[in-house]
C-alpha cells in the first residue's frame, strides 16, 4: 500500500470532520505502539505491510543451543531422587535394562534438537524436540527444503504440509518430533514479529495463573516448595507380577501418608504395565484415591485402553505423551478410554497440533495436562491459554534444598512459586537466548544419549 494507505492516510485529514479523524488516528497509533497487551512492533508491521502482508521464511536449520549454567549458591541438602529412584520402563522386560538405571534404557528421549527459523528480515525463532541425529536429519534434509520461502505466519498451512508430506514415511514418531520443533519455532518467530507473547496469539489467558503439580519422589521437598498435587514414579514392570504389585502399593501408601489426604496424588507407569497388571494394581490402590494412573500401556494399544477403562472405573486414566499428532487422541476420545489427555508439545506435532488435541478433548468434556507442561516455555504458554488445562506438570529433578530459581535451565522462563506459575509476557515464548549460544548441528555426531529427559 502506498504512503496514502494504512500507515499514512492523508485523505483522512481533508474536509469536514478531519480534526476528529486526526484524533482517532493518533489514538490508534498510541494503542498500537504503547498499550500493554495490544502493542505491535512498528517496524515489523511496516516490513510486513511493504511485502504485501507476507513475511517469508529465509532458513530452517537444526541447531545446538549451549546455555551457560551457573553454579547454585545454596548448598544441596541431598541429591535429587533421580540418583536413587528406579523407574519402570518398557525395556525392563530385558535384564540388561534394569529399572534402577533408567538413563541406560534406549529410546527415552536422547539428545535435544533445536530448530532455528529465520525470517527474511533477520528475526528468528526457536523450537525444540529430542531424539538426536535422526530427527535433525529429517529437519535439515526433508522439512527445510519443503518450507523455506513460504509465509512464516501461515502456521496452519505449514503444519498441514508437513503432516501430508510425511505420510509415506510416517507422520508419527521421529517425524512428529521434527514437525514439533519446526512448528514451535514458527510460533516463537510469529510472536517476535508481532511483539506479542504466544499465549496472546492463542487467544489470551484463560486464568490468572497456572496451577502446577509436582512430579518426582522428593515429596518432602515438593511440599516445602508449596505444591499441593504430586505424581510419583513407578519402579516396577508387569513381568514382576505380585511382587511388583506389592512394591508399588507400599510406595503409594507411603506417598499418601506423606502428602496427606487432601492432596492430589498420581502415579506414572511410563508404559511399563499391561492390562492385567494395571487392573490388579488398580484394585490394590483403591483406598488411596489416586487422581490418575498415567500412561500405563503402550500408545498403540487402543483396545487395551478400552478394556482397562471398562474394568478399572475407580482410577482415572491419563495418557498421551507418546501419542503423536491429533489422530490417536481422537481415537482415545471417541472410545471414551481416557480421562486426561497429555500431549507433549515437543513430540506431538508442536503447538498447532496440541491446540487441535486440546479442542478434540474439550468437546468431549475431557481435560488436558501436557507432559512436562510447566518445565518449558512452550507448555507454559499452552497451559495459560487453553481453558480446559487446569493442572499442569512440573518435573522436579533438582537437588533438594536448592531454590528453583538457582537451577533454572532456561533464561527468561519462570519457575513455579508456591505451586503456581505465570508465563513470561515477552515476545514469542520469552526465552532469553543469545544468538552466540546457537551453533549449527553436527550431523557427524550420531549419539542420541547424554541428556536428561522428562519421563
Q: How confident is the model at residue 6 (pLDDT cuts 50, 70, 90)?
A: very low
Residue 387 DSSP SS3: coil
Q: What are the beta bridge partners of residue 113?
A: 129
Average pLDDT value for residue range 219-229: 97
The pLDDT value given to residue 24: 52
CB 438 within 8 A of CB 63: yes
The pLDDT value given to residue 408: 75
The pLDDT value given to residue 36: 47
User: What pLDDT, in 10s, does the model give residues 7-40?
Assistant: 444 444 455 455 555 655 665 555 555 554 444 4
User: What pLDDT, in 10s, does the model give residues 372-408?
Assistant: 999 999 999 999 999 999 999 999 989 999 999 998 7
The pLDDT value given to residue 311: 98
Could you give the CA distance from residue 50 to residue 202 in angstroms, rounded to a whole number? 26
**What φ, ψ does residue 187 adopt, rounded to 5°?**
-65, -40
Q: How confident is the model at residue 138 (pLDDT cuts 50, 70, 90)?
A: very high
- Choosing from 323, 324, 346, 371, the catalytic residue is 371
Give the HSE-up count for residue 168: Cα atoms under 13 Å, Cβ half-sphere. 2
Q: From the CB of residue 446, how many other CB atoms can be counted at a distance below 10 Å? A: 10
- Whether the pLDDT of residue 364 is over 70: the answer is yes
User: What pLDDT, in 10s, does the model give residues 228-266?
Assistant: 999 999 999 999 999 999 999 999 999 999 999 999 999
Q: From the CB of residue 103, how many other CB atoms can be counted at a distance below 10 Å? A: 13
- Whether the pLDDT of residue 87 is over 60: the answer is yes
The number of residues making up the chain comes to: 455
Among residues 130, 141, 134, which one has the least CA distance to residue 165? 141
C-alpha cell of residue 162: 508437513
371 as an active site residue: the answer is yes
CATH class of 203-426: alpha beta
Could you give the CA distance from residue 59 to residue 140 in angstroms, rounded to a whole number? 10
3-state secondary structure 186-230: HHHHHHHHHCCEHHHHCCCCCCCCEEEEEECCCHHHHHHCCCCEE
Please check whether the two domains, 57-199 and 203-426, share a CATH topology.
no
3-state secondary structure 58-105: EEEEEEEECCCCCCCCCCCCECCHHHCCCCCCHHHHCCCCCCCCHHHC
The pLDDT value given to residue 7: 47
Could you give the CA distance from residue 91 to residue 98 in angstroms, rounded to a whole number? 8
CATH class of 57-199: alpha beta
Q: From the CB of residue 378, how many other CB atoms can be counted at a distance below 10 Å? A: 31
Could you give the CA distance from residue 91 to residue 194 in angstroms, rounded to a whole number? 45
Domain ranges of the chain: 10-50, 57-199, 203-426
Mean residue pLDDT of the chain comes to 89
User: What pLDDT, in 10s, does the model give residues 421-432?
Assistant: 999 999 999 999
Q: What is the pTM of this model?
A: 0.88
Amino acid at each position: 500500500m502506498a504512503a496514502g494507505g494504512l500507515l499514512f492516510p492523508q485523505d483522512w485529514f481533508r474536509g469536514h470532520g478531519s480534526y476528529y479523524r486526526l484524533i482517532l488516528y493518533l489514538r490508534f497509533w498510541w494503542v498500537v505502539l504503547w498499550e500493554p497487551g495490544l502493542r505491535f512492533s512498528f517496524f515489523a508491521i511496516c516490513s510486513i505491510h511493504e511485502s504485501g502482508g507476507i513475511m517469508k521464511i529465509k532458513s530452517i536449520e537444526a541447531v545446538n543451543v549451549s546455555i551457560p549454567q551457573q553454579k547454585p549458591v545454596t548448598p544441596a541438602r541431598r541429591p535429587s531422587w533421580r540418583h536413587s529412584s528406579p523407574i519402570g520402563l518398557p525395556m525392563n522386560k530385558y535384564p540388561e535394562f534394569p529399572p534402577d538405571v533408567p538413563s541406560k534404557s534406549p529410546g527415552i528421549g536422547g539428545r535435544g534438537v533445536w530448530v532455528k527459523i529465520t525470517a527474511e528480515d533477520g528475526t528468528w525463532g526457536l523450537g525444540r524436540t529430542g531424539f538426536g541425529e535422526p530427527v535433525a536429519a529429517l529437519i535439515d534434509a526433508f522439512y527445510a527444503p519443503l518450507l523455506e520461502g513460504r509465509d512464516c505466519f501461515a502456521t496452519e498451512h505449514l503444519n498441514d504440509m508437513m503432516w501430508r508430506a510425511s505420510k509415506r514415511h510416517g507422520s508419527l514418531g521421529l517425524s512428529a518430533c521434527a514437525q514439533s520443533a519446526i512448528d514451535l519455532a514458527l510460533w516463537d518467530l510469529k510472536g517476535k514479529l508481532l511483539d506479542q507473547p504466544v499465549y496472546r496469539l492463542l487467544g489470551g489467558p484463560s486464568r490468572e495463573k497456572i496451577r502446577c503439580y509436582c512430579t518426582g519422589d522428593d515429596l518432602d521437598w515438593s511440599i516445602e516448595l508449596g505444591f499441593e498435587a504430586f505424581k510419583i514414579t513407578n519402579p516396577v514392570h508387569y513381568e514382576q507380577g505380585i511382587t511388583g504389585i506389592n512394591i508399588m502399593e507400599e510406595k503409594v501408601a507411603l506417598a499418601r501418608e506423606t502428602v496427606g489426604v487432601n492432596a492430589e496424588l498420581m502415579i506414572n507407569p511410563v508404559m511399563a504395565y499391561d492390562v492385567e497388571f494395571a487392573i490388579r494394581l488398580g484394585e490394590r490402590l483403591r483406598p488411596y484415591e489416586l487422581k490418575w494412573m498415567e500412561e500405563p500401556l503402550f500408545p498403540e494399544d487402543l483396545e487395551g485402553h478400552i478394556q482397562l477403562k471398562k474394568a478399572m472405573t475407580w482410577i482415572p486414566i491419563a495418557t498421551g505423551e507418546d501419542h503423536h499428532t491429533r489422530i490417536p487422541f481422537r481415537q482415545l476420545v471417541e472410545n471414551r478410554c481416557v480421562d486426561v489427555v497429555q500431549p507433549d508439545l515437543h513430540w506431538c506435532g508442536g503447538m498447532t497440533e496440541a491446540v487441535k488435541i486440546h479442542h478434540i478433548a474439550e468437546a468431549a468434556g475431557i481435560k488436558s495436562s501436557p507432559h512436562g507442561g510447566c518445565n518449558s516455555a512452550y507448555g507454559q504458554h499452552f497451559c495459560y491459554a487453553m481453558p480446559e488445562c487446569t493442572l499442569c506438570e512440573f518435573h522436579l529433578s533438582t537437588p533438594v534444598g536448592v531454590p528453583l530459581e538457582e537451577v533454572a535451565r532456561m533464561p527468561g522462563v519462570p519457575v513455579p512459586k508456591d505451586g503456581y506459575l505465570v508465563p513470561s509476557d515477552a515476545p514469542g515464548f520469552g526465552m532469553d537466548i543469545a544468538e552466540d549460544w546457537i551453533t549449527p548441528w553436527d550431523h557427524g555426531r550420531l549419539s542420541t544419549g547424554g541428556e536428561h529427559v522428562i519421563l
